[in-house]
Structure 1
C-alpha cells in the first residue's frame, strides 16, 4: 500500500507536468530535425523471430504464437538495415520501444529501464564520421529547441541547458582504458562538461569491423557529461555475408534463427549503412537534470520496479 500511495502522489507532483511538456518538445525537435532532412519515419516493430542479441546478458523476452516463437524487440537494428532496401527509404528513423529484461546486477542502476524508447536512425551509404556529425547536430538542435520552448519548465526543475558551441570531443576505447582503467566511460562522464564520443567498441556482430584491421571497429557511443553516462550507441554495419558469418561464429552464436537475415545478406540485399539509437529516457534524464531515470517516466519501469500498474 505504501508503494501504491507513493505512485498516486507522484501523479500529482508539479514536476510531472513540466517533464511531460519537455518530453513533447524533445520528441518534436528530434523528429523535425530529421524530417527536414528528408528522412522517412517508420512505425515500430514489436515482435520478430530475431532481435538484437546485445553485448550483455538479459533474460529472454519472447512469446509463443501458434507455431511461431517470437521475440519482443530489444532493438530494431535488423529491421533498420532491411528497411533501407525499400524504395525511397535511403534515410529512416523510428521512435522504437525496446524490451530488455536486465539481470538483477543492475537493479539499483539510475539509468537502466526494462522498457524504454530509442530514437533510432539509419542511413544508406553513410560512414561512422557522417553519422557522428549528424548526431552532434541533432543533439545540439534538440537542446536549443527545448531551452527555447521550455524555459519555464526547466526553471521549475532547476535546470538550464548549456549551449555547446564547439565540436564534441572524440576518444577511443584504447586510449581511455589505458589512461583510466575499465570504468573509463563513467570516469570521463563525471569529469566532462560537454557530450563526447568514444569509438572502437568490441560488441555485437553487426557493428562493422574496420576493413583490414582485425579487432578494430567502426562504431561509437555518445556519452553525456555531468556523470549521466551513455546517451547513444551507433556505428557502421556489417553487410557482406561472409563477414557477418565470421563475426557471428566468433561470438559462438546459433545461426538458425537468423536464417532469413543471412539469406538477405547472401543475396547482397543489405546495403552499406551507418546509424545509431538515442535513448529517449536517458536524454530526458539529462535535459531535466534528474538523477534517476524513473523520474522522467510516468510509470516506473526501472529494473527494481514494483510494477504497480
Structure 2
C-alpha cells in the first residue's frame, strides 16, 4: 500500500510504501537512521542490519542526500521523540535517482548562497514549515470570506492606470497602449462590490519600489476585500476578525510547524479581536512621549515608529484617521474632522509593521472627482470607468488589503519576508 508521511498515523502496524527523498542520515555498524521527506512531512526510517541483511543495509548506508527512492516498511510509534510521533522500520529500498554532491549540506550557509539555490532551499525543514503556514493562511482566508458571504473576484494584473496615482509601477506596452503591472486590485474590486455586494480577491501585486528592507518584496500577494454599504467602523471589525481567524487557524492547524520555527506561541494565543485603536494624532503624541523627536505631524511612520506603537500594546493595533494630505485620493474625508480621512493601518507587533491598510472610500461623485483633479488624474481617460462607479447608484463602501508575506512573517516569526514566498523577487534578485 502506498501512503504519504502525513498519513502514517493511520497505518500503525501496517507495512506501507512511501515515495520520498533522503533529507539526512546517520548510521552505526548495525543501524542506519534515515531522515525521509515526501513533501507532506518528515519522518525517520530505521534500517536494522540484523533484520534486513547485508545488501539492503549497505544500500541504506550508501544513500546520498536528496536521493529519491521508494521505501517500504512497518509504521511504529517512536515514543514521542518527534512531532509526527511515528517512524518506519524499513524492510525495502528502491533507489529512483541518486543525487550527487547536493549543494545545501547540513552545515551553515550564507544568505546569498541560499537565495541562489532557493529552488533547493525550499526542501529544508524550516522552509517547508514556512510554506505550510503560508498555505494554511490562504486556506483560512477562503474559509473566512466564504463563511461571511463574500464572492471571489479576480481583478486584472495588467492595468491602464495606477490605483494610488504613484509612479512606482512596472511599465509595459499593451500592443499600442501603455500598461502597468497591477500594484493593487482595489479599484476593480470597488466596481465588483457595486455588482456583488461583498467581494474579495487574492493575487499577485507589483511595486517598483527600490527598497531593501526586510519587509519589502517587489512581487507579493494581496488579499483585498471590498464591501458595499460598509462604513469605517464596520470595516475595522472585518479586519480584526479576519486577522484573528488567520492566527487561530495557524495555531490550530500548524502548531508543529510553528514549534519547529521556535515561534513563541503564547504571543499568538493572545491575538484575538477586538484590537486596540489609536488615531494618527494620538500616535504622534505617543511617539513624542517615547522620545521620537524626529517625527512631526504630517509625517508618515517608518519602521521604528510602527514598532514602538505596536509594542506598546503587544498586539496588532489600528492607527486610524490619518491626515488627508498624505493618503490616496479615494479615501473618504471624516465629516466630523475635516482634513482627516476614515482610514486605518493595522500594525503587527514585534517589528513586523503594517500588515493591513484600509479605508472607507469616497462615494460622492463630485468629491471623488475633485480628489482626482487634485492628484492630476485624468477623469476622462484611464480613470473614467472608476469615476462612473459613483455616477450610477453610488453607496457608502469600504475595503482593505492584507499583505500575505508580511502576515506569514509575523505569524511564523521569521525575520525577512524573502522566506515567506516560494521564489522571492527582490530589488537585485530575479533568479531563480
Asked if these proteins are the same fold (TM beyond 0.5), I'd say yes
Aligned to 1:67: 176
**Equivalents in 2 of 1:299, 1:2: separation in Å?**
14
Aligned counterpart, 2:332? 208
**Structure 1 counterpart of 2:242:** 138
For residues 53-86 of structure 1, give each alpha carbon's deviation from its aligned partner in whole angstroms, at most 9, with x where no partner exists. Answer: 25x652x312212233222111011101111222
> Alpha-carbon deviations, 1:27-57, whole Å to 9, x = none?
1111111101111011242112223125x65
Q: Provide structure 2 residue ranges, at least 5 long, that are not aligned to the other structure.
A: 1-111, 288-294
Aligned positions of 1:102-181 closer than 5 A: 102-103=209-210, 106-107=211-212, 109-159=213-263, 160=265, 161-165=268-272, 167-180=274-287, 181=295
Q: Is it true that 1:226 corresponds to 2:350 in the alignment?
A: yes
RMSD: 2.1
In structure 1, the partner of 2:399 is: 275
Structure 1 pair 150–257 and aligned structure 2 pair: CA distance change class (3 A): same
Structure with higher strand content? 2
Q: In the alignment, does 2:364 pair up with 1:240?
A: yes
- Per residue, is there more helix in 1 or in 2? 1
> Which residue of structure 2 lines up, in the alignment, with residue 84 of structure 1?
193
Task: Please state if 1:259 is matched with 2:384.
Answer: yes
Q: For residue 341 of structure 2, give the secondary structure of its aligned residue in structure 1.
A: coil
Which whole-Å CA distance do the structure 1 matches of 2:350 and 2:114 have between them?
30
1:186 aligns to what? 307
Any runs of at least 4 consecutive aligned residues in structure 1 with deviations exceeding 6 A, and if so which?
none
Q: 1:212 to 1:44 in 2, by over 3 A?
A: same
1:291 — aligned with what? 415
The structure, 1 or 2, with the larger RCO (C-alpha pairs under 8 Å, 6+ apart) is: 1
CA pair 281-268 structure 1, distance change in 2 beyond 3 A: same
Q: In structure 1, how many angstroms separate the alpha carbons of the residues matched to 2:273 and 2:134?
A: 26
- State whether structure 2 residue 118 is matched by structure 1 residue 7: yes
* Contact kept? 1:125, 1:271, Cα under 8 Å: yes
Aligned-pair CA distance for 1:114: 0.6
- Three-state SS of the structure 2 residue aligned to 1:120 is strand
Does residue 1:308 correspond to 2:431, yes or no? yes
Alpha carbons of structure 1 residues 285 and 67: separation in structure 2 relative to 1, 3 Å: same
Are 1:17 and 2:114 an aligned pair? no
The alignment's TM-score, normalised by the length of structure 2, stands at 0.65
Unaligned runs of 5+ in 1: none
Q: Distance in 2 between the 1:295 and 1:114 partners?
A: 14
Residue 199 (structure 1) aligned to one of 301, 320, 326 = 320
| Larger radius of gyration between Structure 1 and Structure 2 | 2
> Given the alignment, which residue of 42, 52, 70 partners 2:163?
52
